[in-house]
Structure 1
Amino acid sequence: MTGPDRTPPPGDPARDGDAGAAGRFADFGPPRRVDGGLKARSTRGAIGVSWWSRRFLEVLESFALGTRLTRGRSYARKGQVLRLDVTPGRVEATVQGSRAEPYRVGIELPVFPAALWERVERDLAAQAFFSARLLAGDLPAELEEVFADAGAPLFPSGVAELTQRCSCPDFAVPCKHLAATFYLLAEAFDADPFQLLHWRGRGRAELLDRLRALRAGATDPAGATDPAGTPEPSGPDTGAPDAAFAGPTPDVEPVPAAGAARVLAGLPAIPLDEAVDRFWLPPVPLPDRPPTLATGPELLLRQLGAPAPAIGGPGLLERLRRAYRSFGRS
C-alpha cells in the first residue's frame, strides 16, 4: 500500500528524470505515449455528468489531494489508463506511466452483506417509483437516501474506507495513477450507473431480477399452484375477500415511504377537472434532495495549488483564501 508523499522537490535531478540520478525516482519523466488507452470523454473542466458520478468525485476531491488530482485528470484525458475492471468490492486498472512496464492499480471498497442488500431490495420493491426508474436503467437521487436509512451509505464517507494500492514507487496516496483510475471510474459510472451498485456487491441482472420477483410476489394471490396451474386454497373458505386484494401478506414487513411517495402518501384523490389550473404544480412542497458533502469555501484553491509568480504567486493565493472565507461567512 502506498504511503506518505516522497516526490522529490522541483529542481531535483531525480524528479526531472536525469538518467544519472540515483534513487527510486531516477527514471521518472513524462508518461510514455499510449495508443488505444481509455480516454476520459471530458476534455476540459469537471469530469462526471450524472449525480452519482459527481457525488463519487465530491468524496475524492474533498480529501484535498492537491496537484496529484490535477495530474490524475491529465493522465485520464491522455488515455494512460489501459484497462479498468469493476468487480464486487474491487476495481483493478493498468496505468501506463514513465516506465516501460505499466503500473497495477487496485481500489477496494467493502461490499454490503447479503442481509443488507435484501433489506434494500425490499425497500426498493415496495415503491413502484424505484422499480420503474431502476428497470429503465436510471439511478434516482433518492436512492442514496434508501441506503442511508438502511445504515449503509452508498458512497465512501472518508479515505479510510478505501484500500488503495499502486505498484509505482510514489508513496503518495493516491498517486496520479490512482487518481486517473478514480476519474475513469466516475465516467464508467456515468456510462453504466449499475457499475456503482456492482462495486458494492449487487450486479444489474441480479438486482433487477430480485426487484421483479419481489414486485410479483406482492401482487400474487396467496397459496400454492398445482401443476395444472390452479391455485390451491391455503385454508377453509370463510368468504373473506381474495388475498390479492386484501393488502400485504402478514410476513411482509411494512416499508416506510421514501422520496416522493413519502410526501404524497395520504393525500386525497382530486378529480382532474377540479385541478386543471394546478396540474403542473406539486400538491405539497417537494422534499429536499439528499444532503451533499459539506466542503470548505477554499477547496478549489487547495486543489489548484499556488498561482504562477507572474500573477501573484502564493501571496495571491492567500488573499483569495481570505476573500473566499469572508464570502462564506456573509
Structure 2
Amino acid sequence: MSKYAKTWWGQRFIAALEGFTDSGRLARGRSYSTDNRIKQWLLQKGKVDAKLRGNTNPYYGVYKEPTYKVSVQMTHLSEVQWQKIIQRLSQRASFIARLLLNEIPENIEAVFAEAGVHLLPKDYRDFKVACDCPDYEVPCKHIAGVCYRLAGQLDQNPFLLFEMRGLASEKLLRELANSSLGKVLSDAKSNATVELMPVDSFYTRPVLTELPQEISLKSFWQGQQPLPKSIEPSQPATIPAMLIKKGGDFPGFWQKQNSFIEVMEDFYLRMRKNTLKGL
C-alpha cells in the first residue's frame, strides 16, 4: 500500500498509478505534488488542469525554469450506466449512511459490477493524461505529481471520485434525493449556510438580581426547593458525534496518518469517564 494516501480509496487510486509506472519515475513525481511545484490547480467537470514548475535540463535544451501544463482525468461512465448505479445506491441504507459520513463503502464496487463497470481505477486504461514536457514517457513525473496531489484530495472529499468518473456531486445528490433514503444524504450535504447570530460576549456574564428584604437562613442554605434524591442516567446519542463524523476520517486540517474520528471517539470516552467519576 502507498503511504501517500490515507483512505482505502486513495490507496487504490495510487496503486493503479504504481501498477504501470516504474518506481524511479514515481519517486521523482512525488516531489512534484507539493505547493512549491504546483503553480495552478483547477479541478472541474472531472478533469484536473494544472501548471507545474519544472527544472532546467540542458540535455533537453531547457536552460530556463519552465512551466508545464498537465491534465489528468479518468474515463467517464455513460448516462445509462450512472442511472443504473444511482438506482441501486439509493436502495441501500448502508451506502447512504457511509456516504453521509464522507466515506466510500468498501463494497461499493459490487454495485458498479452489476452495471459492468468499476468506480476505482484498475490500470492505465482508466486514465487520460497529458503533459507538454519533453519527456516522452507516460506518465511523466509531472503527471505522477498531479496524481499524488489528487489522491490527497480524494482522501478529504470522496465525492471527487464520482466527478472524475463523469458524475458531478451536485447531480448525484439531486438524483438520490428522489428516494426517501437518499434525501437524508442530500440534506446533509447541502450547501445551505447557517446564519451567524451576533453576541455581546463569548463568555456567560452574571445577571444582577435584587435581594429580598428578609432572608431565611434555612432557605438560603437549603434552597427554595429540595434537590432530587437521584439523577436519571443520561441516554447515549442515537448517532454519536455526527458533526465530527460528517467530516470523515481525514478532514482537511488533519495531517496525521491515524483516523481523526477514532482519536475523537477515544477523547469523548475518556472525558465521559472523568465526568462520571465526579458525580
Amino acid at match of 1:59: A
Pair 1:194-2:159 in alignment: yes
Q: Which residue of 1 aligns with 2:138?
A: 173
Letter in 2 for 1:158: D
Query: 50, 58, 70: which is aligned to 2:27?
Result: 70
**1:131–1:211 CA contact under 8 A, matched in 2:** no
Indicate the SS of the match to 1:138: coil
Equivalent residues of 1:89, 1:110 under 8 A apart: no
Q: 1:137-168: CA deviations, max 9, x gaps?
A: 22111112211222111123221332221011
For residues 126 and 94 of structure 2, what CA distance do their matches in structure 1 show?
A: 31
- Counterparts of 1:84 and 1:145 in 2: how far apart (Å)? 33
**Cα shift at 1:100:** 3.4
Query: Is the 8 Å Cα contact of residues 105 and 165 (structure 1) preserved in structure 2?
Result: yes
| Counterpart contact for 1:125–1:211, Cα < 8 Å | yes
Q: How far 1:78 moved relative to its partner?
A: 6.2
Question: Which of residues 96, 105, 111 in structure 1 aligns to 2:53?
Answer: 96
Determine which of 79, 89, 92 is the counterpart of 2:36.
Answer: 79
Go from structure 1 to structure 2 and tell me whether the alpha carbon gap of 1:217 and 1:91 turns closer, same or farther (over 3 Å shift): closer
Identify the residue that residue 49 of structure 1 maps to in structure 2: 6
The separation in 1 between residues aligned to 2:145 and 2:94, in whole angstroms, is 35
Answer whether contact 2:26 2:144 (CA < 8 A) is retained: yes
Shift of 1:171: 0.8
Structure 2 match to 1:152: 117
Is the Cα–Cα contact under 8 Å of residues 96 and 181 in structure 2 kept in the other structure?
no
Determine whether 1:124 maps to 2:89: yes
Cα distance between partner residues in 1 of 2:103 and 2:180: 18
CA positional deviation for 1:133 = 1.7
Assess if the C-alpha contact under 8 Å between 2:26 and 2:141 holds in 1.
Answer: yes
> What is the root-mean-square deviation in Å for CA atoms of aligned residues?
2.1
1:121 deviation in Å? 0.7
Q: What SS does the corresponding residue of 1:108 show, helix, strand or coil?
A: strand
Aligned partner of 1:162 in structure 2 is 127
The aligned amino acid for 2:49 is E
CA distance in 1, matches of 2:178, 2:165: 21
CA deviations on 1:274-320 (whole Å, 9 max, x unpaired) are xxxxxxxxxxxxxxxxxxxxxxxxxxxxxxxxxxxxxxxxxxxxxxx
Distance in 1, matches of 2:128 and 2:114, equals 25
Q: Secondary structure at the match of 1:68?
A: helix
Q: C-alpha offsets along residues 101-153 of structure 1, whole Å, 9 cap, x if unaligned?
A: 41100123221111111111110111111112213322111112211222111
Give yes or no for contact 2:93–2:181 (8 Å, CA) kept in 1: no
AA paired with 1:53? Answer: G
Q: TM-score when scaled to structure 2?
A: 0.58
> Unaligned stretches of 5+ in structure 1?
1-44, 219-330
Deviations 1:71-101 (A, max 9, x none): 0112224631222323334221111112434
Residue of structure 2 in register with 1:309 after alignment: none
1:205 alignment counterpart: 170
Equivalent positions of 1:268-307 (< 5 A) are: none
Which AA in structure 2 matches 1:149?
A: E
Contact 1:47-1:187 within 8 A present in 2 as well: yes
How many equivalent pairs are there?
Answer: 174
Gap runs ≥5 in structure 2: 56-63, 184-279
CA distance in 2, matches of 1:147, 1:79: 38
- Alignment deviations for residues 33-84 of structure 1 (CA, whole Å, 9 cap, x no partner): xxxxxxxxxxxx8200001100111111111423110001122246312223
Instruction: Tell me the amino acid that sits aligned with residue 58 of structure 1.
Output: A
* Residue identity (%): 34
User: Do 1:92 and 1:104's aligned partners in 2 also have CA atoms closer than 8 Å?
Assistant: yes
Question: 1:165–1:129: structure 2 CA closer, same or farther, 3 Å change rule?
Answer: same
